[in-house]
Amino acid sequence: MVPLIKIEKRNDVPMALYFFTPFIAIILTILGGGIIFYILGFNPIEALKFYFITPISNLYGLSELLLKATPLCLIAIGLSFCFKSNNWNIGAEGQLTFGAIVGGGVALLFYNQEGFYILPLVILAGAIGGMIFALIPAILKTYFNTNEILVSLMLVYVSKLLLDYLVVGPWSNPEGFNFPETRQFSDSSRMPLLFEGLRIHAGIFLALAAVMLSWFILYKTYLGFQIKVSGLSLKTAKYAGFKGKTMILVVFMISGACAGLAGVGEITGPIGQLHRMISPDYGFTAIIVAFLGRLNPFGIIFASLVVALTYLGAETAQIFLQIPKYTGQVFQGMILFFLLASDYLLFFKVKILNLNKNELRH
């Protein structure tokens, strides 16, 4: 007798379960994290408390959580358009950077000038910058059949190097001793703060607007219908006569604009200038956020808060318990792993069969 593992597709997966698995993934991540802390020699309950509760136990912590979740949410909303329609935009980090460059450029242009119109211009410039940068892989894909995964990923490095060049050279602060950073933007191009003493800024409204708008587009418009059909089956979409090329360009533009907004929100919000470290890889982390949120606008809000908390938790855990900060990345990795694993088990069932050797030969 030889045991044989057979994997079969499940036919009737209940939708409720589909939206429930992210919670299972989070619970498994917390359990897995507890085990890791235990192995590292920490009290797992205490460590988890510092990780997931302490960071948001006061008003400042909550504001920081929202501050951190804002760019993640914005980018993930944009990515959901691409991912839903089978377009694999991996370069949100590049679109964020390019959006920040264009928006930051406008902010520097209006250095030391007053005017209510400056901030909207800066924000608009950031969105357009991200949009243009996302159009590059989209156009190459639609007209030259290139692989958008590779092109969008490689463009991340292009935009980061461009930012490096600008902050070191032409845009560097003339009074800044050649340090690689621009001037601090004037107040007229800074996001207004929502509360005195907290860093949470008006950018959060951009994220919320993006959530609402994306829900409307995805579920209430013809474009949303096209996107969903293309995601389910490209052949059906073609058969139905959808103009695939325009849709690809549009989803990339939406995605790029969202990433650009995230970038401009960071530089006009908490950072206040351009330098080389404007994003700790939000564009890549947002991919986890998008999938954890099931590519659903409201799911993404929830997912961005969870992932933002892993960043804050890692800092708090290091401050209070000296747990290495890299556990934050371990947590993010675990969330994605458990999510993919539970998806697999959700859609496929594993059967163990016992067969005779003779039967195998047939």
Partner 1 sequence: MYKNFFRYLISAIFLLGLSVNSNADFKVGFVYVGPTGDHGWTFQHHEGRNAVEAAGIKTTFVESVPEGADAERVIRQLAQSGHDLIFTTSFGYMDPTNKVAKDFPNVKFEHATGYKREHSNVSTYSARFYEGRTLLGHIAGKMTKTNTIGYIASFPIPEVIRGINAMTLAAQKVNPNIKTKIVWVFTWYDPGKEAEAAQALIDQGADIIMQHTDSTAPVQTAEKAGVWSFGQASDMQRFAPKSILTSIIDDWAPYYVERAIAARDGTWNQQDTWHGLKEGMVAMGPYNSAMGADLVKEVEQLQKDLASGKVHSFTGPIYDQKGNILVAEGKVADDGMLAGMNVYVKGVEGDIPK
Binding site for partner 1 (CB under 8 A): 60, 64, 67, 164, 168-170, 177-181, 184, 197, 199, 266, 269-272, 275-280, 311-312, 315-316, 318-320, 322, 324-326
Q: Which is nearer to partner 1, 2 or 319 (CB)?
A: 319
Q: Which residues pair with 147 in a beta bridge?
A: none
Q: Which is nearer to partner 1, 84 or 275 (CB)?
A: 275
Q: How far is the CB of 88 from partner 1 (least distance, A)?
A: 26
Q: How far is the CB of 68 from partner 1 (least distance, A)?
A: 8
Q: Return the residue matching tokens 């909207």.
A: 120
Cβ(118)–Cβ(288) below 8 Å:
no
Q: How far is the CB of 269 from partner 1 (least distance, A)?
A: 7
Q: How far is the CB of 331 from partner 1 (least distance, A)?
A: 15
Q: How far is the CB of 287 from partner 1 (least distance, A)?
A: 19
Q: Which is nearer to partner 1, 81 or 311 (CB)?
A: 311
Q: Which is nearer to partner 1, 146 or 318 (CB)?
A: 318
Q: Which is nearer to partner 1, 123 or 229 (CB)?
A: 123
Q: Please choose, from the candidates 37, 53, 90, the residue with its C-alpha nearest in 3D space to the C-alpha of residue 334.
A: 37
SS (H, E, C) the chain: CEEEEEEEECCCCCHHHHHHHHHHHHHHHHHHHHHHHHHHCCCHHHHHHHHHCHHHCCHHHHHHHHHHHHHHHHHHHHHHHHHHCCCCCCCHHHHHHHHHHHHHHHHHHCCCCCCCCHHHHHHHHHHHHHHHHHHHHHHHHHHHCCCHHHHHHHHHHHHHHHHHHHHHCCCCCCCCCCCCECCCCCHHHCCCECCCCCCCECHHHHHHHHHHHHHHHHHHCHHHHHHHHHHHCHHHHHHCCCCHHHHHHHHHHHHHHHHHHHHHHHHHHHHCCCECCCCCCHHHHHHHHHHHCCCCHHHHHHHHHHHHHHHHHHHHHHHHHCCCCCHHHHHHHHHHHHHHHHHHHHHEEEEEEEECHHHHHC
Q: Which is nearer to partner 1, 80 or 97 (CB)?
A: 97
Q: Which is nearer to partner 1, 160 or 294 (CB)?
A: 160
User: 10 Å Cβ neighbour count for 10?
Assistant: 11
Q: How far is the CB of 165 from partner 1 (least distance, A)?
A: 8
Q: Which is nearer to partner 1, 166 or 251 (CB)?
A: 166
Amino acid identity of 37? F
Q: Copy the structure tokens of residue 155.
A: 């463009």
Q: Which residues pair with 352 in a beta bridge?
A: 5
Q: How far is the CB of 318 from partner 1 (least distance, A)?
A: 5
Q: How far is the CB of 140 from partner 1 (least distance, A)?
A: 27
Q: How far is the CB of 147 from partner 1 (least distance, A)?
A: 24
Q: Which is nearer to partner 1, 197 or 241 (CB)?
A: 197
